[in-house]
């Protein structure tokens, strides 16, 4: 429901940046979103079409790269991905783990011409 | 042409959230963000906690609602400064709203501010509001699957409070399911079983909150 706020955040970050590069048009915006965040890409698309009207980003495509959850295990040293919402080391079963990725929520890059 | 940007999407919220924290740190005020579904008992929990904490601390309340000011009126009748924050349809409270409201309180004389977030298990969890403590409320009639269905709410909280615990015999509510899931997703968060009607469990919860407040403000 708050995807509009997110879209405004995306435009606020992207538009000043592309203006600096004197681009004519934004073709696509790449987002990296961790599996642990609750963002719905379809909703972003919907609001983006509305909010970007009349800006350099009008018509740009939103490309979402989902970042899987990966951990490091403090007990056995395992490093790597885990299935969503398991929160245990897949090697030794320990819960003494650190989440290394999966909470990402950022704009990575913009393709423009 | 590819332009690298690498910026947090909600960066502005994180920035403002940090400013709110700084302002509160300066004035030694502990901000407690109370989240949960509509009807879980957020306002009742806050009023019960106020009754148990008001002898030791000076307390204020920010009541978030989409419309109306029923909750703020309820708190104000207790003689506690309360500000109603109407979000005009928004599903969550942002740090900016808290920043705008803080000047309405006399921060120097306050020790604790409770924020009652919008009744919603999804969006409020995504927005830091400069809080020192997050408390997530789940009431027995809502069902025992909520921790699994709304993971972010229960993963990011500092404590899970199961409210309406006096009703557990009337519902098919498997508390072990809730607690084991919470322990797995968020092992550091304690779980409290309470009823704001009978008062059971509230002393334990109050004791834990008291400890957290005193860690922050030193009294």
- Note the pLDDT of residue A9: 87
Identify whether A94 is part of a domain: no
Q: Does B8 touch chain A (CB under 8 A)?
A: yes
Identify whether B2 is part of a domain: no
Mean pLDDT on A26-46: 84
Q: Does B89 touch chain A (CB under 8 A)?
A: no
pLDDT beyond 60 at A112: yes
Give the pLDDT band (50/70/90) at residue A38.
Answer: low
Six-digit token string for B205: 């919860």
Q: Look at B12 and A9 and tell me if their CB atoms are within 8 Å.
A: yes
Identify whether A48 is part of a domain: yes
Mean pLDDT on A15-24: 91
For testing the chain B interface, which of A3, A7, A13, A88 should be mutated: the one with the most B CBs within 10 Å?
A13
Domain that holds residue A21: 3-68+101-112
Contact assessment for residue A98 and residue A74, using Cβ atoms and an 8 Å cutoff? yes
Identify whether A58 is part of a domain: yes
Identify whether B4 is part of a domain: no
For testing the chain B interface, which of A107, A112, A113 should be mutated: the one with the most B CBs within 10 Å?
A107
Residues A86, B131: Cα–Cα separation, whole Å: 28
Six-digit token string for A62: 């939103």
Average pLDDT, chain A: 87
Identify whether B5 is part of a domain: no
pLDDT beyond 80 at A103: no
- Quick: pLDDT tens for A57-67: 999 999 999 88
Q: How many domains does chain A have?
A: 1
- Quick: pLDDT tens for B107-121: 999 999 999 999 999
- Ranges of residues in chain B with a pLDDT under 70 are none
> For position B178, which CATH number holds?
3.40.50.300
Mean pLDDT on A44-49: 90
Q: Does B7 touch chain A (CB under 8 A)?
A: yes
Q: Where are the alpha helices (DSSP H) in chain A?
A: 3-20, 41-51
Q: Does B4 touch chain A (CB under 8 A)?
A: yes
Identify whether B174 is part of a domain: yes
3-state SS, chain B, equals: CEEEEEEECCHHHHHHHHHHHHHHHHCCCEEEEEEECCCCCHHHHHHHHHHHHCCCCCEEEEEEECCCCHHHHHHHCCCCCEEEEECCCCCCCCHHHHHHHHHHCCHHHCCEEEEECCCCCCHHHHCCCCCCEEEEEEEHHHCCCHHHHCHHHHHCCCEEEEECHHHHHHCCCCHHHHHHHHHHHCCCCCEEECCCCCCCCHHHHHHHHHHHHHHHHCC
Identify whether A93 is part of a domain: no
Identify whether A47 is part of a domain: yes
- Note the pLDDT of residue B151: 85
% of chain A surpassing 90 pLDDT: 47
Q: Look at A106 and B92 and tell me if their CB atoms are within 8 Å.
A: no
Identify whether A54 is part of a domain: yes
- Note the pLDDT of residue B210: 98
Burial class for A48, CB neighbours closer than 10 Å (0-12, 13-18, 19+): buried
Closest CA to B37 of B126, B131, B140: B140
The angle, 0 to 180 degrees and rounded to 10, between the axes of the packed helices B202-217 and B42-53 is: 70
Please give, rounded to a whole number of angstroms, the shortest distance from the CA of B131 to a CA of chain A: 19
Domain that holds residue B27: 11-217
Q: How many domains does chain B have?
A: 1
> For position A32, which CATH number holds?
3.30.2320.50
Edge-to-edge strands of the sheet including A61-67? Answer: A61-67, A26-34, A105-112, B2-8
The residue with tokens 């106020």 is B50
Closest CA to B64 of B7, B8, B143, B120: B120
This prediction has a pTM of 0.79
Q: Look at A13 and B3 and tell me if their CB atoms are within 8 Å.
A: no
Beta-strand runs (E) in A10-104: 26-34, 61-67, 70-73, 79-81, 97-101
- Note the pLDDT of residue B23: 97
């Amino acid at each position: 429901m708050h995807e509009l706020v997110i879209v405004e955040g995306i435009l606020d970050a992207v538009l000043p940046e592309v203006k600096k590069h004197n681009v004519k048009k934004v073709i696509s915006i790449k987002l990296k979103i961790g599996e642990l965040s609750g963002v719905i890409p379809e909703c972003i698309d919907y609001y983006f079409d509305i909010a970007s009207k009349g800006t350099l980003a009008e018509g740009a495509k939103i490309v979402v790269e989902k970042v899987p959850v990966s951990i490091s295990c403090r007990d056995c040293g395992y490093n790597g991905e885990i299935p969503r919402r398991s929160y245990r080391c897949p090697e030794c079963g320990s819960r003494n783990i650190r989440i290394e990725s999966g909470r990402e929520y950022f704009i990575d890059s913009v393709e423009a011409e | 042409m590819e332009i690298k940007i690498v910026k947090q999407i909600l960066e502005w919220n994180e920035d403002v959230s940090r400013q709110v924290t700084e302002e509160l740190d300066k004035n030694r005020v502990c901000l407690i963000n109370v989240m949960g579904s509509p009807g879980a008992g957020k306002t009742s929990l806050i009023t019960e906690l106020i009754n148990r904490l008001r002898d030791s601390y000076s307390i204020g309340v920010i009541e978030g609602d989409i419309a109306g000011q029923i909750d703020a009126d309820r708190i104000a009748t207790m003689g506690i400064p309360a500000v109603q924050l109407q979000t005009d349809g928004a599903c969550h409270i942002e740090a900016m709203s808290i920043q705008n409201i803080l000047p309405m309180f006399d921060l120097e004389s306050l020790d604790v501010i409770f924020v009652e977030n919008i009744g919603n298990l999804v969006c409020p969890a995504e927005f830091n509001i400069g809080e020192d403590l997050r408390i997530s409320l789940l009431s027995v009639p809502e069902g025992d699957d909520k921790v699994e269905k709304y993971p972010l709410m229960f993963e990011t909280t500092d404590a899970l409070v199961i409210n309406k615990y006096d009703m557990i015999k009337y519902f098919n509510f498997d508390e072990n399911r809730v607690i084991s899931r919470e322990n797995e997703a968020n092992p550091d968060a304690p779980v409290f079983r309470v009823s704001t009607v009978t008062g059971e469990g509230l002393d334990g919860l109050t004791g834990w909150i008291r400890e957290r407040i005193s860690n922050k403000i030193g009294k």
